[in-house]
Amino acid sequence: MIDLIALNHPDKHKRLQALRDLLQQEKAQNDFPIQRPMDANNHIHTTYSFSPYSPSYAAYKAYRSGLTIAGIIDHDTLSGVHEFHEACQILNIASTGGVEMRVKFDHGFGTINNPDQPNCMYMIAHGVPLSQVESFNSYLATYRKKRELRNREMVHRLNRLWQSQDISLDYDGDVRMRSKASEGGSVTERHLLYALAVKLEERFGRTEELIQIVESIFSVRASEKQRIWLKDSNNRIFLYDLLGLIKTNTATFFIPASDEMPDAKEFVQTAKRFSAIPAYAYLGDVDVSVTQDKRAQHFEDRYLDQLVPALKAIGIPAIAYMPTRNTPMQLRRLQQLCRQYDLLEISGEDINSPRQGFHCEAYTNSDYHHLINSAWSLVGHEISLENDLEAGMFGTVFQHLSLNERITLFSKIGQNTRRKL
């Protein structure tokens, strides 16, 4: 019997052993995934921020999806990176590691790529070398602590919202305990809403009454598909679906972040100090949300021509985007701007819920084949830094090469060199 539950065991060492056992069982049964050499995902969240999957489980999901390269990206933490790399090595797939943060960027653009708050944006530090994980994570720890202070205030707001229904959350007992905060993980808004979803199911069950009261209190509207999911007694991911509905409008309880966000330029400089590659995370205007947790909304597309040079001006060398989340027209425009400003293009399908697939169908389109080379170059970047922290893609050793030459070089390093753990 193949045990997937063990991949989410509380103990990291038992998770990794469960992965080894699982792989042996599958090999004995001649059960191998379809190989997709032109598929990668550099943006996979784990239980160290918010996800159904531990780093070991996330690596396994990537492997079973046939990915050639998988990358861990958690909010405000690098605590899952070592496990993820080890899991990927067990599975014989390439891996990258990084972190995602909200940063202050008050340059007159208003709402950028954060649906909840203007004048701030999501950024990623890709390609964090293993030798720098602990130091970088110590820097992030300060922001994780500050985020928890705001989390507690948002729990108070949620409790006031649900006071009439006698529903109340305890931050430590209901929210924090469902996170990996005690192991250096982060606690996100999704943790708050997941804990609330547990309470709501206990009170109302999977009923139309539940849907209607959530719609009323949070001023949201469930789609027909969501209504079916939320009334399905066999729905194993009900709590994630309820969370997704609530998160389409967080205005009733959201408190704008402040102290937990570094300035964008500071974050860029910090990422570079740890030899990582800072990247802006492009969102693009949303029509229909792939993740079911975003309402139709305008983001950076209205002023993208002005935003990209502003990002370049503060030292950002890369832009990350998700081909399945945007239209071909949006992506062509973004790609043209990346080439105009000599920016590395990084792809990753943001994974944080069980309805999301790890495989990116868009890679079958030749317009996105270059993103595989970019993904390999991230792998090569991390490997190259094992010997010299200036030998990365944007370090001094190879600064004489053009961006395309560096992508080619580091892609070859990534494909031909095994990572040292």
Q: DSSP assignment, residue 278?
A: E
The span from the CA of 301 to the CA of 310, in Å, is 14
Q: Where are the domains of the chain?
A: 31-135+264-416, 143-246
Residue 225: how many CB atoms within 10 A of its CB? 10
The span from the CA of 243 to the CA of 142, in Å, is 27
* Residue % of the chain over a pLDDT of 70: 97
pLDDT tens track for 60-72: 999 999 999 999 9
Structural contact between residues 415 and 376, judged by C-beta atoms closer than 8 angstroms: yes
Structural contact between residues 13 and 321, judged by C-beta atoms closer than 8 angstroms: no
pLDDT tens track for 22-56: 999 999 999 999 888 889 999 999 999 999 999 99
Distances (CA, A) of 41 to 19, 38, 69: 20, 11, 6
Pairing of strands 94-104, 120-126: antiparallel
Beta-carbon-side half-sphere exposure of residue 178 (alpha carbons within 13 Å): 20
pLDDT tens track for 145-165: 999 999 999 999 999 999 999
Domain at 31-135+264-416, CATH class: alpha beta
The closest of 7, 93, 90 to 414, measured between CA atoms, is: 93
Distances (CA, A) of 66 to 22, 63, 256: 16, 5, 39
The span from the CA of 277 to the CA of 7, in Å, is 30
The span from the CA of 147 to the CA of 77, in Å, is 12
* Residue 135, both tokens: 């130091």
Q: Find where tokens 């021509």 sit.
A: 305
User: Which SS3 state, helix, strand or coil, does residue 121 take?
Assistant: strand
Rounded to two decimals, the pTM is: 0.95
Structural contact between residues 378 and 385, judged by C-beta atoms closer than 8 angstroms: no
pLDDT tens track for 263-314: 999 999 999 999 999 999 999 987 644 444 455 678 899 999 999 999 999 9
Structural contact between residues 316 and 280, judged by C-beta atoms closer than 8 angstroms: yes
As a whole number, the mean pLDDT across the chain is 94
The span from the CA of 60 to the CA of 19, in Å, is 8
**b/e per residue 399-412 (b: at least 16 CB within 10 A):** eeeebeebbebbbe
User: Which SS3 state, helix, strand or coil, does residue 242 take?
Assistant: helix
* Residue % of the chain over a pLDDT of 90: 87
The closest of 151, 141, 193 to 172, measured between CA atoms, is: 151
The confidence score (pLDDT) of residue 235 equals 98
The confidence score (pLDDT) of residue 360 equals 85
pLDDT tens track for 345-378: 999 889 999 999 998 888 888 999 999 999 999 9
The span from the CA of 185 to the CA of 65, in Å, is 26
The span from the CA of 358 to the CA of 240, in Å, is 17
Q: Is the pLDDT of residue 3 over 80?
A: no
Q: Is the pLDDT of residue 323 over 60?
A: yes
